Amino acid sequence: MNFIDLFAGAGGLSEGFIRAGFKPMAHVESDKAACFTLNTRLAYHFLKENNKIERYIDYLKGNISRSDLYSIIPEHLLSTVINKSIGSDNKIIFSEIDRLAGNKKIDLIIGGPPCQAYSLVGRARDENSMQDDKRNYLYIQYNLFLKKYNPKIFIFENVPGLLSANNGHYFSNMKNLFRESGYNTVPFLLEANNFGVLQNRKRILIIGYKKELNISLPDFENFKTEISPSKVISIFSDLPKLQAGEGIDKYTTYTGKVNSWLKASYIRNSINIITQHVARPNTLQDKEIYHIVVEKWNTKGERLNYNDLPESLKTHKNRHSFFDRFKVVASDLPYSHTVVAHISKDGHYYIHPDIEQNRSITVREVARLQTFPDDFYFEGAKEGRNRTDAFKQIGNAVPPLMAQAIAKSLKTIL
């Protein structure tokens, strides 16, 4: 069954559907760095399927460049990643998808527009509550793809704030628009930890299906994973210990054994190579605060209130909100707090739980919180300069483990 991924980002949603046996006909994404990530992942799948995975391993080891990797991948495959903006470039995008699909039917459309316009935090920070943001209306563009390609089912993913944005008018208009295009819709409020993801991540999933299809959707809101419960320590247990500013982008190896969660979540596999396990450099002041944050949690099980810091460590003028701007990823809990794209700005909200390492977490550790496998490499717009781009892509992504469970259920129905 063939699908199109709109607003594809790094491809977390797509990764889950590929694992479940769906075939991507096109990924549409406006961010250049994310498009390189998508192409690199397509290269992985192609080389694995054609028993040439050693060439991908060469890339993860840094033996060949990105352009060298792409040179051994069929051009028609790389061209399925369309680096265009939905809305302004629709005519070009339609033409490219038509060329790629040929006579093949598009069975499924997946994706979700940027969520900042709907998020509660975004609305709180904007003086107009994001009402003037054009991203509020990208669902209208999404609907144009439904009308043109007429898939059996579509998946529209976003933040829970979508339901309340503009007093619910956007969501109401969205449902009416999809209904006019021939789709019944069912919204689900998903908890990522129900799918085995070790993260407190709530998302809205709108599933639309053609009115003539006589189907009954699973109760994704009460989904229970078959993966045995674990704690956040499982994410860190086998990785090399680092100090702030240390680490290697390509490549290093594991220092611990694979645990059951890493195996069941597809994070550890036959490629025993770690990439992008590099810690941000931190100032002496940052590290002093980090030490206080971790010690407070480890000894008392308490989060730090910013106002409780010694005066010498307080540099923010805002003392009336965001009291938890420094936060440890607690290893003894069943899931962490939510990964967001702001991690690309600083790591203060994602401090490593090991007080001896005294740093914020790495790209690889954040990727694991989102259940991206260790063989998944996040690209930058420029090769070799990828940390900020990688953090942003991971923070905006759908956890592949959750996407896979949804895809498997829908495949059974179809």
Instruction: List C-alpha distances in Å: 140 to 119, 128, 173, 240.
Output: 18, 21, 9, 46
Instruction: List C-alpha distances in Å: 218 to 140, 215, 221, 222, 412.
Output: 27, 10, 9, 9, 10
DSSP letter assigned to residue 229: P
- Four-CA torsion 297, 303, 305, 308, nearest 10 degrees: -20
4 forms beta bridges with 26, 109
The closest alpha carbon to 379, from 41, 14, 5, belongs to 41
| Exposure of 360 in the CB half-sphere (CA atoms within 13 A) | 22
Distance (Å, rounded) from C-alpha 166 to C-alpha 148? 28
The H or E element that residue 23 is part of is strand 23-28
Residue numbers annotated as active site: 115
Contact 256, 268 (CB under 8 A): no
Distance (Å, rounded) from C-alpha 253 to C-alpha 267? 14
